[in-house]
Structure 1
Amino acid sequence: MSGHDELRRKIKVCMFDQYGTVVDMQGGLVAVATPFLEAKGWTGNPNSFVTWWRRTHFENSMIDALLHREHTPYREIGQRAVSYVMDRCGIIYSPEEVRTLVAEIEKLRCFPEVPAALEKLRTRYKLVVLSNGDPDMLETAKRYHGIPFDRVISVAEANAFKPHVATYTKAAEILGVAMDEVLFVANHAFDCIGAKAAGMHTAFIDRRQRPFGQTPHQPDLSIRTMQDLANVLV
């Protein structure tokens, strides 16, 4: 039996990261940030601005998870990150402008191949999201990405951000499945590493053609697009 056959036999749930895996976070936020930054007279690269925003958000969410205190909402972490980056860029802004930029995360659209790929995967597996987003943000997002997932789970259920082990184990508990019956799918190495270390199988969507890196928690599959994933698993 091949490795792919073994995965097909064991997997009951395909669980997806949402931001950057299902929906195009970088492209969507660059499209929103570009006119905003132009209106502010900032002459830097909007793509770099969004990258700084996302990296700052990630760093702050990791700090929040490691503090082991009350979970801070994703939205609040995002607003702190945008404010910090604009301060670094010397951009004058209002709290309302920060809230408006972060709210655009709820309106992100799917990568082009995702809807058809997920429809193919749906014929064999339950499709679930596990996201760092807040529950209300993920609920609003459904109107924009249009994917009828069987379940959408926020890490707020586990009171920590991914890749904390509690997020993956709580999601499996909610679904009533064993950890090794889940294939976790992400565009981010850190998320695949977290899920694999927790006991799930993983698939790395290598959209950006970057090395996964040296880690004992290598993905079970490394593919370029969601359609490639569907072709392997169905």
Structure 2
Amino acid sequence: MPEYRVLAFDIFGTTVDWRTGVADQVAAIAARQGISLDAEAFADDWRGRYLPSMRSVNDGEREWAYLDTLHRESLDEMLTERGLDLAEDVRRELVRTWHRLPAWEDSVAGLARLRERYVVAALSNGGFALLTNLIKAAGLPFDCVLSAELARKYKPAPEPYLTAAALLDVRPEEVLMVACHHWDLDGARAAGLGTAFVERPLEKGPHGADRPDPARADLTARDFPGLADLLRHS
């Protein structure tokens, strides 16, 4: 096993529970507006537009736009499709639901343990402000924030992974990308990083989540403490 110096963690789904966090806040906002809305389905629909919106940036179909802008465009489309006309301040509040999401139960303690041996970095497609707000609110003990905004490309393009390694002055193979999504790990591997799959079976609620596939990751763990155990014995 390579000697890793940096552990880079995906955030949405891997470190925090985006579905519960977004759905709960959407439900509260909808109730205040007197709107009947399936908040979980709304969150699922919103997340379903995540990769396609970023792909349009990576493919050069549009200039760089950070994630809050992409989330806002997706939100406007969803509201139009549902025949909902919400005020500007309510729309801004909805976009910012992605800035405050609950950490998985093992995330804080697991990161703290891993941080004793490694640099632990948040490497996410979220914007720099979004990630800073989210990490602070959830009390996540990261050493640094490495937003795709710094690379002006979104994962799984190689630029965010290589930018993370360059900024931390390490070789790509000295970085272990940790995620619960195979598309993210596939991108990291193509960029020369090590890969660790962490299971998050509840990430998408009843719709299922990515399952372990040893052929697509160097390491597989049930949670962050499990990853610490694997690395301790490496």
TM interval, shorter chain, is 0.7 to 0.9
Map 1:10-21 to 2 at 5 A. 10-21=3-14
Structure 2 residue identity aligned to 1:227: P
Q: Does 1:106 align with 2:99?
A: yes
- Corresponding residue of 2:204: none
1:59-118 alpha-carbon deviations (Å, 9 max, x no partner): 111111211753101110011111111222222212221210111211212111111111
Q: Does 1:223 align with 2:221?
A: yes
- Corresponding residue of 1:168: 161
- Corresponding residue of 1:41: 35
Identity %: 29
Q: Does 1:72 align with 2:65?
A: yes
Map 1:16-31 to 2 at 5 A. 16-31=9-24
1:82 aligned to 75, 81, 103, which one?
Answer: 75
Deviates more, 1:71-80 or 1:141-150: 141-150
Q: Distance in 2 between matches of 1:186 and 1:174?
A: 20
Structure 2 spans left out of the alignment, 5+ residues:
202-207
- Is the contact made by 1:70 and 1:159 (CA closer than 8 Å) also made in structure 2? no
Q: Distance in 2 between matches of 1:34 and 1:114?
A: 25
Q: TM-score, normalised by structure 1?
A: 0.88
Q: Distance in 2 between matches of 1:88 and 1:221?
A: 42
- Corresponding residue of 1:3: none
Q: Distance in 1 between matches of 2:212 and 2:228?
A: 24
Q: Distance in 2 between matches of 1:68 and 1:33?
A: 30
- Cα drift, residue 48 of structure 1: 1.5
2:195 aligned to 180, 199, 202, which one?
Answer: 202
- Is the contact made by 1:193 and 1:217 (CA closer than 8 Å) also made in structure 2? no
Map 1:174-189 to 2 at 5 A. 174-189=167-182
Structure 1 residue identity aligned to 2:219: L
Q: Distance in 1 between matches of 2:82 and 2:34?
A: 11
Instruction: Report the 3-state secondary structure (helix = DSSP H, G, I; strand = E; otherwise coil) of the residue aligned with 1:222.
Output: strand
1:193 aligned to 186, 203, 206, which one?
Answer: 186
Instruction: Report the 3-state secondary structure (helix = DSSP H, G, I; strand = E; otherwise coil) of the residue aligned with 1:121.
Output: helix
- Is the contact made by 2:111 and 2:141 (CA closer than 8 Å) also made in structure 1? no
RMSD: 2.1
1:15-36 alpha-carbon deviations (Å, 9 max, x no partner): 0011221121111001111233
1:163-213 alpha-carbon deviations (Å, 9 max, x no partner): 111111111111111111111011222111111111111111221264559
Deviates more, 1:133-142 or 1:19-28: 133-142
- Is the contact made by 2:26 and 2:97 (CA closer than 8 Å) also made in structure 1? no
Structure 2 residue identity aligned to 1:224: R
Structure 1 spans left out of the alignment, 5+ residues:
1-5
- Is the contact made by 2:112 and 2:141 (CA closer than 8 Å) also made in structure 1? no
Q: TM-score, normalised by structure 2?
A: 0.88
Structure 2 residue identity aligned to 1:42: S
Q: Distance in 1 between matches of 2:150 and 2:94?
A: 25
